[in-house]
Structure 1
Amino acid sequence: MTATDAPAPVLTATGVTMRFGGLTAVHDVDLTVHHNEIVGLIGPNGAGKTTFFNCLTGLYTPTEGTVTYKSSALPPKPHLVTKAGIARTFQNIRLFANMTVLENVQVGRHTRTKEGLFSALLRGPAFRRAEKASEERAMELLAFTGLAPKRDHLARNLPYGEQRKLEIARALASDPGLLLLDEPTAGMNPQETRATEALVHAIRAQGTAVLVIEHDMRFIFTLCDRVAVLVQGEKLTEGTADTVQADERVIAAYLGTPFEGAPGEEEAAEVAAAEARTEETQEGDQR
């Protein structure tokens, strides 16, 4: 395949900037993710990683820049981004605690079902066929993630590591071409972390590209084809694990060595507060 025949990147972010008032959380960040690729996004606390994720998934509309999925501009609405082909998990698990494991995954199928409210109320043949297909796909994903024996358990009763798996299974239920994982191994023990690494490789093997934020450097450098580093909202460098680990600027950033023009703790706290207010406003609008 020649360069001109190569498919467009799954994700292309160009010049993404996110400001909250006069505060800049992300500045002029470029990033691409190609088919069947696993890309890591790392950086010290407050580097802007989750803000950047939120810009990619429609939770935030970037102040500047563009985000495309397979060369098509993404709409600034999370459910439309999911429908387009990008799914995500969150740093803080967001399961429906009082629904079963199976029901949680079935919720993730809603962007891929065509039955409307009228059909659901009548519960006719088309609705029953769609419901059966949804359950079958959900069970495939529970088997894939090792959760099939827990299908009827309430999500809140699962161990922490299995709740993380369930969130991934629910994200996969939308049949994404790109999966974004935000701190997938947070709070996990070494055995659970290794299982997550194997799961991400299995997801890639099925044809889904992955972009992952993680603080566990061993996990990231073992897992990823490429790693991008954000520092103070800007992309510092990008490359293979070996290239990134050898970069003295990356080492300095993780040791807390300030860069010219680096924001102080007060400014970083202001950005965090602005992000929290934005998320609260959006959640209020969705109710």
Structure 2
Amino acid sequence: MTTTAAPLLDVTGVTMRFGGLTAVNDVSLTVGQGEIIGLIGPNGAGKTTFFNCLTGLYVPTEGAVRYRGTVLPPKPHLVTQAGIARTFQNIRLFANMTVLENVLVGRHSRTKEGIFAAILHTPRYHRAEAESREKAMELLAFTGLADKADHLARNLPYGEQRKLEIARALASDPGLLLLDEPTAGMNPQETRAAEELVFAIRDQGVSVLVIEHDMRFIFNLCDRTAVLVQGQKIVEGDRETVQNDERVITAYLGAPLEDSTPAVPETVTETDQ
């Protein structure tokens, strides 16, 4: 699904340097309303570093990140309040909290009640708490975890922990969701379920930017895909454009293929920056 409207996310010339190392180099990217955009690249390409620049974990050395036309402040909680949520390459749940409590934590950025309302247990506080629980349970039902609401997060199977992290991110009511390798470690059945979940999220009006190593997943899912190599974006386009680009083939395989119909490997395991 593409759009001619102003982009939801507009990243212009983002560069991230760590001393003498340039991890991301002059990368520009847009995500439109209702789009699912992929971000791929070989080991150490800078994809997660780029995500960290978008979400305020890193302050870019150069460039600008705009969401709905406004430059984002370089602080993660303010980025979340603006409308961008994310998951992580390595799952970051509160292991000793319940599934429901994890989602309620994600809802915190949308609650307005202060510490005194919480201490005094005012009627307004109780209403907000009930609304947050209702919203959290809706998200657990949406992700297929409603029957696990009272389970400790650490007791969930791996695939369900991934779903829980997505549910927690959605609890902040984002307009844009950033997914960092959401199918890492999953079997084919779990990967297919994750694909269906991302489509369902898009159908709820949330745009998605996703990093992945599973090429079949990316090309089945995304409207466009951008490729990072050594911190630079070398190509962006649809499946055919990306798969048949000689620079992409060289980046993944080390040398161009002789085949007249070259393709990116279906699965590439990576450890990113």
Structure 1 Cα separation of the partners of residues 197 and 247 of structure 2 = 32
Alignment match, 1:59: 57
Tell me if 1:89 matches 2:81: no
Structure 2 Cα separation of the partners of residues 196 and 156 of structure 1 = 20
DSSP 3-state at the match of 1:95: coil
Structure 1 residue corresponding to 2:198, chosen from 197, 200, 220? 200
DSSP 3-state at the match of 1:237: strand
Structure 2 Cα separation of the partners of residues 214 and 38 of structure 1 = 12
Structure 2 Cα separation of the partners of residues 51 and 251 of structure 1 = 23
Alignment match, 1:253: 251
DSSP 3-state at the match of 1:170: helix
Tell me if 1:225 matches 2:230: no
Alignment match, 2:7: 9
Instruction: Note the C-alpha offset of 1:99.
Output: 0.3
Structure 1 Cα separation of the partners of residues 168 and 128 of structure 2 = 17
Structure 1 residue corresponding to 2:156, chosen from 137, 155, 158? 158
For residues 107-118 of structure 1, what are the structure 2 equivalents within 5 Å? 107-118=105-116
Structure 1 residue corresponding to 2:171, chosen from 170, 173, 176? 173
DSSP 3-state at the match of 1:109: helix
Structure 2 Cα separation of the partners of residues 10 and 91 of structure 1 = 23
| Runs of 5+ unmatched residues, structure 1 | 259-271, 276-287
**Amino acid in structure 2 at the alignment position of 1:99:** M
Tell me if 1:235 matches 2:233: yes
**Amino acid in structure 1 at the alignment position of 2:179:** L
DSSP 3-state at the match of 1:61: coil
For residues 21-60 of structure 1, what are the structure 2 equivalents within 5 Å? 21-60=19-58
Instruction: Note the C-alpha offset of 1:8.
Output: 2.1
Superposed CA RMSD: 1.3
> How much identity, in percent, do the aligned residues show?
79
Alignment match, 1:77: 75
Alignment match, 1:140: 138
Q: Deviations over 1:228-259 (max 9, x none)?
A: 0000000000000111011111011001349x
Structure 2 Cα separation of the partners of residues 172 and 80 of structure 1 = 16
Aligned structure 1 segments of 4 or more residues deviating by more than 3 angstroms: none
Alignment match, 2:101: 103
Instruction: Note the C-alpha offset of 1:7.
Output: 3.6
DSSP 3-state at the match of 1:176: coil
Q: Normalized against structure 1, the TM-score is what? A: 0.88
DSSP 3-state at the match of 2:178: strand
Instruction: Note the C-alpha offset of 1:22.
Output: 1.4
Instruction: Note the C-alpha offset of 1:15.
Output: 0.2
Structure 2 Cα separation of the partners of residues 256 and 10 of structure 1 = 35
Instruction: Note the C-alpha offset of 1:196.
Output: 0.1
Size of the alignment, in residue pairs? 256
Alignment match, 2:264: none
Q: Deviations over 1:207-235 (max 9, x none)?
A: 00000000000000000000000000000
Q: Normalized against structure 2, the TM-score is what? A: 0.92
Q: Deviations over 1:42-61 (max 9, x none)?
A: 00010000000000000000
DSSP 3-state at the match of 2:248: helix
Q: Deviations over 1:237-282 (max 9, x none)?
A: 0000111011111011001349xxxxxxxxxxxxx8xx7xxxxxxx
| Runs of 5+ unmatched residues, structure 2 | 257-271
> CA distance change for structure 1 residues 64 and 236 in 2, over 3 Å: closer, same or farther?
same
DSSP 3-state at the match of 2:16: strand
